[in-house]
Structure 1
Amino acid sequence: MGRKKSAEKLKVVAVRVDPSIERRLRLLAETSGRKPSYFLQQLIEGGLGALEDAWLPADVLAQVRAGTVPEPSGSPSEPDLFGDMASED
C-alpha cells in the first residue's frame, strides 16, 4: 500500500478489542518490525469484502463493486462507534 494523496488521507477509527487480541497484534508487530496499524489495515482490507457480501443489499453491493461507494443515508440503524461506549463496560 503506497502513500495516499493529500485528498485521500487515511481516517482514524477506534476499536475495542479483547486484551488477548491486542497482545497478539503487538507481538506480531514487534516480531515483524511493522506497526500494529499495518496489520489492522491488512485485516480490514482482506475482510471488508466478505462483510459487504453478507450485509449489503445487492444494489448497494453492485455500486461498491463498480467503484462508486454511496454515501450512507440518514441515521445509522445502530449506534456509531462511540455512541454506546458507556453501555459496553
Structure 2
Amino acid sequence: MKRTAGNKLVVAVRVTPQIEQRLRLLAETTGRKQSFFLQQMIESGISTLEAAWLPPDVLSQVRSGTMPARQEASPAIPDLFDGH
C-alpha cells in the first residue's frame, strides 16, 4: 500500500468481473468515479466488519478514539506498489 501526496492510502483490490461490471455501471450512470463508490462501501461497511472481527476491548478503543497508534511492521509479502 502506498500513500499519495494528499496522505490518502492507495489500495489495490481484486474483484470478480461481475463486481467490476457493476461498479463500472454505477460510475458511468452517475458520472462519478469508481473510487467514489469504493470509498462509500468502505465507509459504510467498516463498522460492521470491526464489530464482527475485533475483540471487544479493541473495538471499544476504536469507537472511543483512544486506540494507540500502531507501529508499521515490514510486510511479509512485498507491497504491490513498492517497486519490486
Q: Shorter-chain TM-score category?
A: 0.7 to 0.9
TM-score by length of 1: 0.69
Q: Which amino acid aligns with 2:38?
A: L
Confirm whether residue 34 of structure 1 aligns to residue 32 of structure 2. Answer: yes
Task: Give percent identity, aligned residues only.
Answer: 59
Closer/same/farther in 2, CA of residues 34 and 17 from structure 1, 3 Å limit:
same
Residue 68 of structure 1 deviates from its aligned partner by 3.1
2:66 equivalent in structure 1: 68
More strand per residue: 2
Cα distance in 2, alignment partners of residues 81 and 46 from structure 1:
29
Question: SS in structure 1 opposite 2:65?
Answer: coil
Cα RMSD for the two superposed structures:
2.4
Given the two structures, how large is their TM-score scaled by the length of structure 2?
Answer: 0.73
Runs of 4+ in 1 over 6 A off after TM superposition: none
CA contact (8 A) 1:63 1:69 kept: yes
Structure 1 position 69, deviation (Å): 3.6
Q: Which residue of 2 aligns with 1:48?
A: 46
> What is the CA distance between 1:70 and its match in structure 2?
3.8
Unmatched tracts of structure 2, length 5 or more: 1-5
Amino acid at match of 1:27: L
Q: Which has the higher contact order (CA 8 A, sep 6+)?
A: 2
Deviation, 1:81, is: 9.1
